[in-house]
Amino acid sequence: MRFSTHIICTRHLDFGNGDAVSVKYYDIDKPVMPKNVVIISSSLRKGGNSETLAESFARGAAEAGNSVETVSLRGKDIAFCRGCLVCQDTRECVIKDDTVGIARKVHDADVVVLATPVYYFCMSGQLKTVLDRCNPLYDSDYRFRDVYVLMTAAEDGPGTFDGTLKGIEGWIECFPESRLAGVVSAGGVWAVGDIEGSKALDEAYRMGLKV
């Protein structure tokens, strides 16, 4: 069990002798059950921007007492959905690769976090493939309720993230017990490391704290 990270108020105590302290009052009357948070980090680029964003979210969620697992798609065996729709009857995919285990983790999570670079104004192909391969979860007793989206892109225009978010929102809509719970996007990040110092890292950390 963990306790709420909701801060009721902050008091600044000045002892008059040069010592002062800031005290945060938490809503500890309301114990909060730790959540099972699964983060899908879809960029294959090691140490990349979306992976760094995902790490910040994971740090916040773990510090708040949740169980956090980050699944990187790097090095995973992930085949395309064949569209056979056998899973509609069996709730199992006919392709026995790493995606079976990933879909199981998504099914069992309370919170799902999808981290992706923007590729041609869409989510990464590898994330799209994993979401397609989660089709056995459609109309199942999936547990996840909150879905968070973390995105990075080289551009930073008004519509840079629209296509990516729209695609992921479409997937969430197909799981009506779930909802889009939060979005963090970092534009203007191109090379590995560009995201360092970005306020998006702090946003992701704080979002993780509140899952």
Ligand X SMILES: Cc1cc2nc3c(=O)[nH]c(=O)nc-3n(C[C@H](O)[C@H](O)[C@H](O)COP(=O)(O)O)c2cc1C
Determine if 118 is a binding residue for ligand X (CB under 6 A).
yes
Query: In three state form, how does the secondary structure of 4-29 look?
Result: CCCEEEEEEEECCCCCEEEEEEECCC
Q: Of these, 43, 99, 126, 129, which contacts ligand X (CB under 6 A)? A: 43
Q: Of these, 58, 109, 114, 153, which contacts ligand X (CB under 6 A)? A: 153
Nearer to ligand X, 34 or 163 (CB): 163
Choices 21-29, 78-86, 132-140, 152-160 (CB under 6 A): range interacting with ligand X: 152-160
Determine if 126 is a binding residue for ligand X (CB under 6 A).
no
Q: Of these, 40, 48, 57, 78, which contacts ligand X (CB under 6 A)? A: 48
Instruction: Locate 146 and state its tokens.
Output: 């909150």
Choices 23-31, 86-94, 101-109, 149-157 (CB under 6 A): range interacting with ligand X: 149-157
CB of 119 to ligand X, least distance (A): 4
**What is the C-alpha end-to-end distance of the chain, expressed in Å?**
14
Q: Of these, 86, 154, 165, 181, which contacts ligand X (CB under 6 A)? A: 154
Distances (CA, A) of 44 to 27, 29, 85: 40, 43, 28
Helix 49-63 and helix 199-209: axis angle, to 10°? 30
CB of 55 to ligand X, least distance (A): 11
Instruction: Locate 211 and state its tokens.
Output: 């899952």
Would you call 146 helix, strand, or coil by DSSP?
Answer: strand
Determine if 87 is a binding residue for ligand X (CB under 6 A).
no
CA neighbours closer than 13 Å in the CB half-sphere of residue 202: 3
Q: Of these, 2, 6, 45, 82, which contacts ligand X (CB under 6 A)? A: 45
Q: Of these, 5, 50, 126, 178, which contacts ligand X (CB under 6 A)? A: 50
150 in Cβ contact with 184 (< 8 Å): yes
Nearest partner of 61 among 115, 117, 139, judged by Cα: 115
User: Under the rule (CB under 6 A), what is the footprint of ligand X?
Assistant: 43, 45, 48-51, 117-121, 152-155, 160, 189-190, 192
